[in-house]
Amino acid sequence: MKSILNYIDGQFVRGKREFPDINPADGSVIAEVSEADQFLVDEAVNSARKALRGPWWRLSVRERAQRLYRVADEIEARFDCFVAAEVADTGKPIALASRLDVPRAAANFRVFADLIKSAAIESFQTETPDGKSALNYAIRKPLGVVGVIVPWNLPLLLLTWKVAPALACGNTVVVKPSEETPGTATLLAEAIKAADIPGGVYNVVHGFGPSSAGEFLTRHPDVNAVTFTGESQTGANIMRAVAPTLKPVSFELGGKNAAIVFADCDFEETVSGVAESVFLNTGQVCLCTERLYIERPIFDRFVEAVKQNAETLKLGSPLERTTDLGPLISQSHREKVLSYYKLARDEGATLVTGGGVPRFDNPLDQGFYIQPTVYVGLPETARSVKEEIFGPVCHLTPFDSEDEAIAMANDTKYGLAASIWTSNLKRGHRVAQEMNVGITWVNCWFLRDLRTPFGGVGLSGIGREGGKHSLDFYSELNNVCIRL
C-alpha cells in the first residue's frame, strides 16, 4: 500500500499513526497517510523558523522568484502525476483536473514570482515642522512562519494559491492539507525540492482539524500568521485558537452564491454558464451558485433548460475523459447533501430533477455519487435556500423587478460571489455595484485574473488575496522615516 508522508526540513517523515486515504469514486483505500502528532508539528514549525533565517532569507528577490518559476516548471514536468493524485483523492473528472487544478497550480507560482519582482514600495516626502523635509518609505518584510490550512475541493489549486505568495514574500510555510485529499501536498514537496528550495521552507503535516495537526498548527506560538480556506464555522474555531497569540488571519470561507438572470440575457449562453456554475466539480466549489433568480417572463423556459442541462450531464468514472460529474468527496458529505435534499422536500420544494443517488451496477455504486438536483417553489426563508449545501444543487425563484432581485440575492449572511446575466451592460454595472459580495461576474463565472482581489464579506471571509492583496497579507511593512 502506498504511503503519503509528512515533509519536514527537506525530508519525508513518517508519524506514529496512519489513516486511510479513500477514493470517493469507489470507496477503495488508495494510500495510508502518516499523521503528524504534536511532536511532528513542533518539528515542522521549528524547521520553518530555522529556514526563515537561513539561505531562504539571504536570497535576493530575483533569485527567490527564479526558484518559484522552477517550481512551476517542476509541476508541469510531473503534470500526469499531479492529475492522477488529484483525481484519485477527489474523484473529480480527469478532464477538469487537467484543465483547471494542475495548470492553476503552476500559474499561481508564476504569477506571484512576476508580482514580487515588480512590487512597488510606498514613499512620501514629508514636510518637517522646521520647514525642512523627511523621506518616508515602507519596506516589505516576511511575516515569518505561515500556517496554511486548506480544504478538499480544489486541494492543489487552493494550497498553491497561498503557498506561492507566502514564499514570494520570503516567508516559510507549514501546510496542513485536508485529511480527505493529502496526495498533492506531498507531491508538491518533490517539485519544491527539485526546484532547489532549501529544506524547512515548505513543510507538510498531515492530519485532522480539532485535537490534531490543524489545531496544533493554529495554536502554535511560533506560527506568525494563519491563512485558511474552508467552512465558515471552522474559520470561527481557528479564530478562537489564534486569539491568545494575536496571529493575523486571512480567511476564504463558504458561500450561498446567487445568479441573477434577466430576460434580455443571451439565453443559450446563460443556461450553459449558469449550469456550469451550479454543477462544476459536483457543486463543490465555494463560488458555485446555489440560488438562481430568474426574471419572470423567462422563468419556466429557464427552469426547463436547466433541467435538460442537468439530465444530460454524464456521471461516471473520473478516469473517463467524457465524464462531467464525479462523486462527492465522502460518504459523510453525501449524507449531508442528501439531508438537504430531504429538507428541501420537507420545506415544500417542487423537485424538477434529481434528488437522489444514481445506480451504475458496477463498482462506482460503492462511490459517493449523487444526482444533480434542481428545485423550485421554496420561500426565501427556507433553510435550504439560506444554508450552504456544497453539492450539485440549486433552487430557482422568479422575480419581477431589478430591486426585488437585488434584495433577494443580498439577503444572506454569506457574501462570496454573484453572477449577473444580461445583455444590457448598463444594468450589468448597476446591479454589480449593489451586490454585497467580494466577487461579481457579469455574463461569466469563475473567470479569474490572479491579480484581482479575491475574498468574501460576512460569513464568506476576512481579507482579500490575489495580486498585491496577497503580497500585503504575506508581508509586514516597516516604514523608514529619514530626516533629510
Residues catalogued as catalytic: 252, 286
Q: Does 179 bind ligand NAD (CB under 6 A)?
A: yes
Residue 332 buriedness (CB in 10 A; 0-12 / 13-18 / 19+): exposed
Q: Does 286 bind ligand 6OH (CB under 6 A)?
A: yes
Partner from ligand 6OH, ligand NAD, none binding residue 448, C-beta < 5-8 Å depending on class: ligand 6OH
Asked whether the CA dihedral 42, 45, 47, 53 is positive or negative, the reply is negative
Q: Which stretch binds ligand NAD (CB under 6 A): 50-58, 70-78, 151-159, 363-371?
A: 151-159
Q: Are 335 and 370 in contact (CB under 8 A)?
A: no
Give the burial string for 445-484 (b: 16+ CB within 10 Å, else e).
Answer: bbeeebeeebbbebbbbbbbbbbebbbbbbbbeeeeeeee
Interface with ligand NAD: number of residues (CB under 6 A): 32
Residue nearest ligand NAD (C-beta atom): 209
Cα angle value 280/282/283 (rounded, 5°) = 70
Q: Does 242 bind ligand 6OH (CB under 6 A)?
A: no
Collapse the DSSP code of 377 into the 3-class scheme (helix H, G, I; strand E, B; otherwise coil) and give the result. Answer: coil
Q: Does 439 bind ligand NAD (CB under 6 A)?
A: no
Q: Does 160 bind ligand NAD (CB under 6 A)?
A: no
Q: Does 161 bind ligand 6OH (CB under 6 A)?
A: yes
Based on CB atoms, which residue is closest to ligand NAD, 376 or 439? 439
Partner from ligand NAD, ligand 6OH, none binding residue 161, C-beta < 5-8 Å depending on class: ligand 6OH
* Residue 73 Cβ vs ligand NAD, minimum distance, rounded to whole Å: 26
Work out which of 285, 294, 329, 382 binds ligand 6OH, going by CB under 6 A.
285
Work out which of 228, 369, 454, 473 binds ligand 6OH, going by CB under 6 A.
454
Q: Does 148 bind ligand 6OH (CB under 6 A)?
A: no
Residue nearest ligand 6OH (C-beta atom): 286
What is the rounded CA–CA span in Å between residue 67 and residue 172?
Answer: 14
Work out which of 159, 253, 396, 442 binds ligand NAD, going by CB under 6 A.
253
Q: Does 106 bind ligand 6OH (CB under 6 A)?
A: no
Based on CB atoms, which residue is closest to ligand NAD, 146 or 405? 146
Contacts of 361 by beta carbon, 8 Å cutoff, 6+ apart: none
What is the rounded CA–CA span in Å between residue 82 and residue 415?
Answer: 32
Using the structure block, give the residue that is written with the C-alpha cell 444572506. 412
Polymer length of the chain: 484
Beta-strand pair 145-149/172-176:
parallel
Based on CB atoms, which residue is closest to ligand 6OH, 111 or 442? 111
* Residue 287 Cβ vs ligand 6OH, minimum distance, rounded to whole Å: 5
Work out which of 30, 87, 143, 149 binds ligand NAD, going by CB under 6 A.
149
* Residue 285 Cβ vs ligand 6OH, minimum distance, rounded to whole Å: 4
| Helix (H) or strand (E) run with residue 2 in it | strand 2-4
* Residue 454 Cβ vs ligand NAD, minimum distance, rounded to whole Å: 7
Read off the DSSP letter of residue 404. H
Phi and psi at residue 386, in whole multiples of 5°?
A: -100, -30
Which parts of 322-463 fold into alpha helices (H)? Answer: 331-346, 383-386, 402-410, 425-434
Based on CB atoms, which residue is closest to ligand 6OH, 386 or 448? 448
Collapse the DSSP code of 194 into the 3-class scheme (helix H, G, I; strand E, B; otherwise coil) and give the result. Answer: helix
What is the rounded CA–CA span in Å between residue 369 and residue 318?
Answer: 11
Q: Does 287 bind ligand 6OH (CB under 6 A)?
A: yes
Partner from ligand 6OH, ligand NAD, none binding residue 97, C-beta < 5-8 Å depending on class: none
Partner from ligand 6OH, ligand NAD, none binding residue 66, C-beta < 5-8 Å depending on class: none
Contacts of 480 by beta carbon, 8 Å cutoff, 6+ apart: 136, 137, 138, 139
Helix, strand, coil proportions of the chain in percent (round to 5)?
Answer: 45, 25, 35
Based on CB atoms, which residue is closest to ligand 6OH, 202 or 390? 390
Partner from ligand NAD, ligand 6OH, none binding residue 390, C-beta < 5-8 Å depending on class: ligand NAD
Based on CB atoms, which residue is closest to ligand 6OH, 46 or 90? 90
Beta-strand pair 350-353/373-376:
antiparallel
Q: Does 448 bind ligand 6OH (CB under 6 A)?
A: yes
Q: Which residues bind ligand 6OH (CB under 6 A)?
A: 153-154, 158, 161, 285-287, 448, 454
